[in-house]
Structure 1
């Protein structure tokens, strides 16, 4: 975001809902960057379906319950959080604002929720854990296995409190917006954990893939298997989370491998187009896991009512990705704080109106799915 765009940035207090943050970000971001954040893979069927599926979930509220002391706190991976929510791993945050990941991490710390630093972060994990707060490290499995394990050791040494292995990216999905825009990273943005200088991600692409897709295809391993998960489980003492689970059978296998949590996710509609919406996969995963690990959900969360829906369907919490990035683009750290404040206010409102004195009570609510 250049200085001219910064001059057009809105005041965080003017944002009244997460859609306002998205509109404000669209006004300041270059079109290609906006498309990189907003876009999905293929015809974006799954991207759109994530939102549609959430809006088909209706909660049956309870009444005549004392909600005068309604609280939103919970625990995630055994640690307290003020909301059943964590910031999802999002790559290259300095693309949307010079303050990048540190601004988002500070906002998460202030909100009392975990921040997840991506393997493709534009700022190294050490700089983010140094800010305090609860920091999780997301890992893409690399072609060089030892390098993958080195990144985990590095995150542990830096003070990360969990490792999140993304399991649905043997390579990057074909994101047509990026292909059409011939999207490449600007020179000032890099994957801080993978290279010191410009890489293939910075060069104008050729053929059918974006520069980022070409770069990640060169470094991500398509040979990630359950044996890799087992090796990682043996390698780290930290809580282990698998992100990208849709099949209940895979969730059961994850439990058998000793993971502490799974994230029911279709990568925000950015991987397999036509994949099941996350919220539709959630109940089956929760049922099959049967309390043996935590179940989180992402892909499409856009308001506090969505958090309530996820909890009512059995999730322990949710991950939020794009809305935080829109807030960052619109107003830096203050924009992310505003997004998280809005989610906190909306979630508390939804809890109380549903007759829930706390987040745990939301998991006892009944839901009805209305199709069509």
Structure 2
């Protein structure tokens, strides 16, 4: 068989693999040696294997959704309603899937979403996720509810891009401290999460009576913060002055909880066991981590609190997008928190097109919730997103193979997106428009 129809050797451009073919080639070459991927390349198998690896509590927190799970299902059904319409006989031998976000060009339109309490899944937690993101060169949005302080994650990332997620606390002193720390670690944007002013009704967690934060998990950003610890000391002093005594029941469960908290709190384990501070820190976190009274007026003050680009996460209504633009935010993230907050909510993808029409290039538009394949990335970009965030998939990869597993999961998604882009007849992320899709 000829190498080409003209019996000429293949051109250099035809030999350029791109991330999709490079990833395929690496997997197939390993297959020749009898090696198959530790991290499955399809989401269903990935999820199934990760569930077997996780504890019941880790699975409940990671995979669970709000209410009956209808919002999680709606996220997936929304993707299924849109179909890619490939175009043929176009030169797609060289593709450019890079995008620019806030002055930084990244190799693919993908960010690692902020996921809380990843220490449930793997002992290296956010540090491993940070290394995975840095290896790929894509931004990691450091979680406010992390198991590892942001400073340690930043050290693991070197010069790779990182953003910071902010949960707006009831205490503005803590908000200012977190923003200052984010600036100091080189964060390139702040993502203010708006849809967790109250904790959603999550039956999988509730049926186990399991909230990771009450065990001291997922609160490392707080226990590493001098301002937060000052707030804890103030509350302890106020309780002593008021003569308030600890009346908690002593049970086997409460003893286990105290041990878990003491292990995770900074300092020596035995000292922590004897001290009231670690448990008070957990109680303080649960009381002040989020502000139910947060309004647009509070958000306006962000311009005086930080000079970093501000992204609002959790926007699902066009009027909220308009209000966000009016107060001058730099980015909007369309998200329903992966279906974890409001049961029966609109799917994020269903909200995206209307919000894209409002934003119209005036701000960076990001998409979150439900990304499972490279085709999903393509569809979100076609409906107006500049980039997407990936959540549960990389956490499942983390469960299976630590930092390498998280990296491989995201690398697979990027590879599939690259191939989908070319097979649909496009050579750059910028070319994808709604005309690339059909809803019939």
* TM-score calculated relative to the size of structure 1: 0.89
Correspondence 1:26 to 2:60: no
Aligned mates of 1:102, 1:130 — CA distance in 2: 9
For 1:275 and 1:233, locate their aligned partners in 2 and report how far apart those are by CA, in whole Å.
31
Out of 210, 224, 230, the residue aligned to residue 294 of structure 2 is: 224
SS of the aligned residue for 2:84 comes to strand
Q: Per-residue CA shift, 1:133-161, capped at 9, x if unaligned?
A: 11110000100012112101111012111
Is 1:162 paired with 2:189? Answer: yes
C-alpha distance in 2 between matches for 1:160 and 1:12: 33
How many residue pairs end up in the alignment? 353
Match of 2:350, SS?
helix
Relative distance call for 1:14 and 1:330 in structure 2 (3 A) is closer
Shift in Å, 1:70: 1.6
Conserved? CA contact 2:82–2:439, under 8 Å: yes
Partner of 2:309: 239
Establish whether residue 357 from structure 1 lines up as the match of residue 385 from structure 2: no
Identify the residue that residue 209 of structure 1 maps to in structure 2.
none
**Alpha-carbon contact 1:162-1:241 (below 8 Å) kept:** yes
Instruction: Provide the secondary structure at the position in 2 that maps to 1:61.
Output: coil
| Counterpart contact for 1:121–1:191, Cα < 8 Å | yes
Q: Secondary structure at the match of 1:194?
A: helix
Q: Is structure 2 residue 277 aligned with structure 1 residue 250?
A: no
After superposition, the C-alpha distances for 1:179-200 in whole angstroms (9 at most, x for unaligned) are: 1011133857341122369x99
3-state SS of paired residue (1:319): strand
Determine whether 1:149 maps to 2:176: yes
- The equivalent of 1:118 in structure 2 is 143
Please list, as runs of the form range in 1=range in 2, the aligned pairs for 1:51-62 lying within 5 A after superposition.
51-62=76-87
Deviation at 1:269, TM superposition (A): 0.5
Tell me the equivalent position of 1:192.
220
Displacement after TM superposition at 1:215 (Å): 5.8
The alignment status of 1:347 with 2:372, answered yes or no, reads no
Structure 2 portions without partners, runs of 5+: 1-34, 233-247, 249-253, 259-281
1:60-75 equivalences in 2 (<5 Å): 60-75=85-100
The answer to whether the 8 A contact 2:39-2:397 is kept is: no
Would the aligned equivalents of 1:77 and 1:261 in 2 still touch at CA under 8 Å? no
Which residue number corresponds to residue 279 of structure 1?
349
Report if the CA contact (8 A) 2:374-2:417 is conserved: yes
Pair 1:41 & 2:66 matched: yes
1:37 match: secondary structure? helix
Go from structure 1 to structure 2 and tell me whether the alpha carbon gap of 1:216 and 1:287 turns closer, same or farther (over 3 Å shift).
Answer: farther
Relative to structure 1, the CA distance from residue 301 to residue 12 in structure 2 (aligned partners, 3 Å threshold; closer, same or farther) is: same
3-state SS of paired residue (1:357): coil
Paired position in structure 2 for 1:312 = 382
What TM-score, normalized to structure 2? 0.76
| Distance in 1 separating the partners of 2:288 and 2:391 | 25
Structure index of larger Rg: 2
Superimposed CA distance per residue, residues 294-333 of structure 1 (whole angstroms, 9 cap, x where no aligned partner): 1111111000000000011011010111111000001101
User: C-alpha deviations, 1:94-153, integer Å up to 9, x for none?
Assistant: 110111111111111111110011111111111111222111100001000121121011
